[in-house]
Amino acid sequence: MTAHTWVDVPDGSPFPLQHLPYGVLAWGEEGPLACVAIGDHALVLSGIDDLRELGLFDHGTLDPLLAAGPAVWAQVRDRVTALLQDPAQEQAVRPHLRPVANARQLLAFTVADYVDFYSSEHHATNVGHIFRPDAAALPANWKHLPIGYHGRAGTVIVSGTDIVRPSGQQKAPGSTPTFGPSRRLDVEVEVGFVVGTPSRLSVPVTAAQFTDHVFGVVLVNDWSARDIQAWEYVPLGPFLGKSFATSVSGWVTPLAALAPARVAPPAQDPAVLPYLHDTDPWALDLHLELSLTRGGRTCVLSRPEFAGMYWTPGQQLAHLTVNGASLRTGDLFASGTVSGPVPDQRGSLLELSWGGTAPLMAEGIGAVTFLEDGDTVTIRATATGMGGVPIGLGELVGTIRPART
């Protein structure tokens, strides 16, 4: 594929021809409209006659495209690529290109079920040290299965949606439980996978079938109230400390765009059970960035590397369905917090401030432990796309608003 498009794509744009992420946008009263991003513009897919005739793009959501399966995903991507490459198509296509800058970005798909994993060995080790200093850092099961929990699909929200500080029960050591706004509100930098093709109840999906079912990738911020979480999580795991909001990026990057970003995952020891054995394992070499804006100043807090995740996306999918649980179009499964071996690769404030005991000194901001009202958190990611061209997975932004009283 040559890199040329007749659309003017600014140098360094996260959305060159090699990317073509999908999203749902609205301009004033017009929309929601299913679109593909190219440079600073969004191509309204229902504007293209032969694409409209597929019947997938006039519903204001990507749901019908997700359900259509991998052959159609490839067909649409090839067609859009060809349209944007062929100068003879410019006159017909240009009227359907609109500037992204003055659009509202909406949640691109209906989230069916939401699962969150815990697949970074460095994150799990750090959390173990912070929450359970007298016990082994990793739970006994951690290297035998990708630990996960079911989250709340109905509170998955799109980038740009404000986060109201949650209230709940908390318990300080040696005192009785109290109720009030969380004082340890945190972020979790994650990568999420969006399921397109459903599967049948009672029929497990193998790691090798990943690309038959998974459409693409979003950025995820799994906002976490650590004080609520710490008191409630034994023995059933996260509940109200997580379920108040989970943010996802508006742009969904198709897996096809990330083919060049596949790399070998870390070695696994001990060997996994056969159902978790991935014959062609891959990790994604995504470079994540967590930044904080406070008092008008912005500072990058960390740069986690997604390629170091211990459990692969294929293993997560295999584990998620091995008991016969079926997939639905719009299922979202997230990686768990992405943290690397060194402090500036940690994907949560819990780790960056070591449970609040060692505030992070952020340039221009000062000491950071947990989130304050008015803080804006931004997650970005870049990868290498086709032909070595860099692509960006858009932005995931959220601003903290005061608790309701």
Q: Which residues are catalytic?
A: 123
Name the one range near Mn ion by CB under 5 A: 12-20, 97-105, 169-177, 217-225: 217-225
Q: How far is CA 256 from CA 5, 76, 342, in A?
A: 18, 12, 31
Q: Could you tell me the smallest distance in angstroms from the CB atom of residue 40 to Mn ion? A: 32
Which residues, 268 to 297, sit near Mn ion by CB under 5 A? none
Question: Rg of the chain over CA atoms, in angstroms?
Answer: 21
Closest CA to 325 of 230, 186, 204: 204
63, 113, 116, 278: residue in contact with Mn ion (rule CB under 5 A)? 116
Q: Could you tell me the smallest distance in angstroms from the CB atom of residue 190 to Mn ion? A: 6
Q: Are 42 and 25 in contact (CB under 8 A)?
A: yes
Sketch the per residue contact string, 74 through 93, with Mn ion: x for CB under 5 A, - otherwise: --------------------
Q: Indicate the residue whose CB is closest to Mn ion.
A: 222
Element (H, E) at 231: helix 226-232
Which one, 199 or 221, has the nearer CB to Mn ion? Answer: 221
Closest CA to 7 of 71, 76, 100: 100
Q: Does 305 sit near Mn ion (CB under 5 A)?
A: no
62 alpha carbon, distance to own chain's centre: 16
Sketch the per residue contact string, 311 through 350, with Mn ion: x for CB under 5 A, - otherwise: ----------------------------------------
188, 227, 351, 395: residue in contact with Mn ion (rule CB under 5 A)? 188
Distance CA 23, CA 25 (A): 6
Which one, 188 or 232, has the nearer CB to Mn ion? Answer: 188
Name the one range near Mn ion by CB under 5 A: 63-71, 180-188, 249-257, 289-297: 180-188
Q: Does 351 sit near Mn ion (CB under 5 A)?
A: no
Name the one range near Mn ion by CB under 5 A: 93-101, 112-120, 277-285, 361-369: 112-120
**By 3-state DSSP, what share of the chain in percent is helix, strand and coil, each rounded to 5?**
25, 30, 45
CA angle 318, 321, 324 (to 5 degrees): 140
Which one, 192 or 392, has the nearer CB to Mn ion? Answer: 192
Q: Are 122 and 339 in contact (CB under 8 A)?
A: yes
Q: Are 189 and 337 in contact (CB under 8 A)?
A: yes
Task: Fill in the amino acid letter for 311.
Answer: W
Q: Could you tell me the smallest distance in angstroms from the CB atom of residue 33 to Mn ion? A: 31
Name the one range near Mn ion by CB under 5 A: 23-31, 93-101, 182-190, 249-257: 182-190
**Both tokens assigned to 19:** 């990317």
Kindly determine how many residues on this chain lie close enough to bind Mn ion according to the rule CB under 5 A: 3
22 alpha carbon, distance to own chain's centre: 14
Task: Kindly list the residues in this chain that would bind Mn ion in the complex (CB under 5 A).
Answer: 116, 188, 222
